[in-house]
Structure 1
Amino acid sequence: MFDFEYQLKILPDKPGVYIMKNSLGEVIYVGKAKILKNRVRQYFQSSKNHSEKVRAMVKNIAEFEYIITDNEMEALILEGNLIKKYSPRYNILLKDDKFYPFIKITTNEDFPRVFVTRNYAKDGNMYFGPYTNGTAVYETINLINKIFPLRTCKRVIIEGGELTTPCLYYHIHQCKAPCAAYISKAEYGEMIKSIIDLLHGKNSSIVKDLKEKMEASAENLEFEVAAKYRDKLVAVEAIAEKQKIFTSRSEDEDFIDFYSDEKDTCIQVFFVREGKVNGREHFTFENTADENKEELIQDFISSFYGGTALIPRNIYVPEVADLTLMEQYLTTKKGSRVFIKIPQKGEKKELLNMVRSNAKITLEQFKTKILQDKEINKISLTELAAVLQLEELPLRIEAYDISNIQGMDSVGTMVVFEEGKAKNSDYRRFKIKSVQGANDYDSMREILKRRFLHGLEEIKSIQERNLELSKGKFSYFPDLIMMDGGKGQVNVAVEVLRELNIEIPVCGMVKDDRHRTRGLIFNGVELAIAPNSNVMHMITRIQDEVHRFSITYHRSLRDKRTLHSILEDIPSIGEKRRRNLLMKFGSVENIRKASMEELLATPSIDKKAAENIKRYFKDKK
């Protein structure tokens, strides 16, 4: 047993990170402290001043450990790394892989390209963003391509260099063919300058020029040409409307504020780029209404800017626990000075108030949607119980699927729905170990045995420790199992459960000839279900989700295997470089399409390595 009294007594008077674990040895919380002794002891003193979340966490702490650091800054950085590593359930967790899209203009090329990217780098090119609305970004790019006939190819084109034959885009008037020297670098540069002005919101000269050309064409009775200028004019106005001006200064700034009701908190972020609000993001945290808001904002800033691609120069907040520390932390990450400011009046304060108002509206909408979804899900589960003649509602449903291509990279997946809602934290993935080739039935038998045998072992261990069954990863058994398939898959599941002496109803989700969910197989009979009923919508959602999860996992394994096997053939590309390429691009096709600039922006990839990669794919074309 962990001796809390002794361990609390020997805590050092130094900065560091503490790690809380439950009785199963799982990390449930990671925190930093200026003085470890003072901070950790607070958790085990009187709980009357603790928030609801902290009280729940403390009940589950079975042991703790700590790591000493030289200063609080090191503790903050280590805390962020450990949170990413363990994803503790009581920490603020934001998606670390969420990189917002940017519009990139390759200004370091003679004939620049304009495209969407999620990889921000200090590579001498020009970036606009980040944008939270991906659809709007692609619409903007499409509108720019309507107005300006830019090149979209990834060729390295140098003025005065080797000429090539123009491609289809030239013949359909969507490119000026710089590859064939049909446009000079200076003329092309004028188009790029106009695009930059347009993205900065300076569109008056472009509008004036297009109007004059449209009117001149109309006067000359060239109505088709006039119509083209009219369409371009509409596109320019559409781009301008996507950005609303809020500030008079052209700086990169983020505004962060929150709103709490009696239980939960919503934190809202407004992104201001070049003096315009070009996007916003919100995050809802449950059971945090009684938490210290200064610490909540600090934890949010640490987590949010630890995972995004761009840190602005100025960040405005209503309050923060340790402003100086957070400024130093973000300055270190950005590589240039970052300021965190708490405005008291004026334009910045007004915008911060607007962010808070939006956070309130978002939280209210979030609560309303939850109530609506709960009601719909309850109706769906009631209908499902009636269809299957179950005595109780199937509050926890587990669905299973197998994915492979001709037996290669065969995988199995399990998704979980609780009270009709997907519970992503309980999803599980299985690599097929004992089955060779494409044998879906034996593969399904393997993953079901592994899942429930693991569950039985966990139940035994948890009962010996006198814990709740829901504390384990596999110990909480479902009220209903749904197989992605027909009678064969259902029979396999029934056999495995019978062999393990477990009683759980099993049904199969079957599809029609168009690969759409048709109904359920239960007790050997296909049950007719109304196509537009609530229960059919829920069944379809479950089947689509388990299929998506299975395909995604299979594809990731296949891509990794393919990527590594191909990259091993490229000279000077060792294990470290292969891993970095895999992390950045994700697939062979993306690496093949990458420009020299994008390759050079990859960690550990120098000019020689990038040239070897480009040469390899050119030779293997």
Structure 2
Amino acid sequence: MDPSEYRPRTGEIPTSPGVYRFRDEDRRVIYVGKAKNLRQRLNSYFADPANLHPRTFRMVHTGASVEWTVVGTEVEALQLEWTWIKEFSPRFNVMFRDDKSYPYLAITSKDRYPRVFVTRGRRKPGITYFGPFGQAWAIRESLDLLLKVFPVRTCTKGVLQRAERSGRPCLLGYIGKCSAPCVGQVSEEEHRELVRGITDFMSGNTGTMITDRKRRMAAAAEVYDYETAARLRDEIAALEKVLAKNAVVLSMNADCDLFAVHFDDLEASVQVFHVRGGRIRGERGWIVERLEDSTPASLAADYLRQAYGEADPQAVPPEVLVDTLPEEPESLSDWLRDRRGGRRVDLRVPERGEKRALLETVRQNAEQALILHRTRRASDLTTRSEALKEIQEHLGLEEPPLRIEAIDNSHTGGQDVVGSLVVFEDGLPVKRDYRHFAVRGEAARDDTSSMYDVVSRRFTRYLESLASDEPDERFGYRPSLLLVDGGPPQVAAARRALDDLGLAQIAVAGLAKRLEEVWLPGDDFPLVLPRGSEGLYLLQRVRDESHRFAITYHRKRRGRSSTASALDSIPGLGPAKRKALLAEFGSVAGIRRAGPEELQRVKGVGPSLADTIQRELNGAQRQAGGAQPGGEESESDE
């Protein structure tokens, strides 16, 4: 839709802080955002849509209406934005998912006799959670040790009621792993005191507990109360064994959370270490789809809200350490302070020392988690088979598309047009069959002409291979499905190229980034695969890989052409001197950064030529910057 058709009048938009929602024609919320000044932010979407980032451009043109809610402060805007993102799961917002299901230690603090247990899944009100922990067996083993010191209730509601009716405790009560409040062996208050003990221990207050028990053990031994001394000795041993399971990572008795993120071309991995009392007491990770305009700063703001948006106040530490400061760090610090019950939270990037070293360890874990996630999903034969079957059913293919080829084009303002061909077999990339295409002449005049040219060239080689006595290993195979990056125009061009070559049996589909819609030739409406389906994930992965491959080749060609033009146009700079300068400084950017004295170190470059090089290169950079702000590539998406 044309954004001008639903653009609100400037005078109607307040200048207050607030949260806004873009909706599509079906009234689905497709984006939620916040702003210090609603009028300024919303006008930025409509003032000149052509200059928007490609993803934002698609969001604005997908929208059919925009609405907003005014709030009192930026912190309230932050909270409301997160609430709506959780409620509506908008298509154009960053969406996180846990990279695995983590166990927590939970305490039902509002029960008459609070229960301690290990759980997974969504948090529930009225329950205090500790963790998450890396392994379920580790926390279960720790809980078993803690019950020797704090024998609190662990049984379900049904077991508790049965024991109350019969007047007999369960097995745990008989063996000393439960204080059996159900049958009156301890009072309600005494049991709550035990619960407070385990809560304090899990909160990191461990030093005083062990010190106090050692003092009491010595006092009991002095008066020959060896039974009490032995019990305290066993409790000390149990507590120290639990502590030994948590590595000491900081020399000081620090409470902090450390966050780090690692990117690849398609996704990002976020990892957090929860450090309490100088020890790692828990860890957690998320995998997030990497949207085109996601920056480390914007992602940092999102993952902090993911981590603390529903957290209990005691789960927010006094110090949050990140590898990149989030957008609007002051507002986030205020929001974290509110989440912590009004107590200060220090949000910063550690610059040196052991905290910086530990943050690097968190970053390495994020990198390994992303590698493991991609490997598991791609290598899972069952998952890949399910994805191919879904694609077959949704696209109406005669057989599962065991070989999928994808084509994408990339260019800068119609210049340096290139195409890419990537190949997936059985749901896995076959990189030896990847190919590049340089598009020239009339074929480069627009996206559909480029698509027709690349498809024609690829499958002409296929037909030539069939007619040859020696088949071409690079182009001699026929795909079950040709996927193009784009909508109806690109799909129609690809279909026309195949039909002109007599290859009507090859199926064609397009995946448009607008709403990840699948377009088939001649259809007036797209197919919308379920967002979480394995079939859609595989199509996205194939499309994004072709996009990445095209962009990589395009940047390489553009870099070569810009290097040649930048140095070739400098008077007095011949081939030998150009070669010597590139050998010395590595690139045109390196030459541009060098001062006149550094340039004169190169043989044949005197003061006059050095000044000329500086003047010409810096002048060319200013002209290029004025002609094309940001220097971003333009991809043929739709």
TM-score where L is the length of structure 1:
0.49
Structure number, greater radius of gyration:
2
TM-score where L is the length of structure 2:
0.48
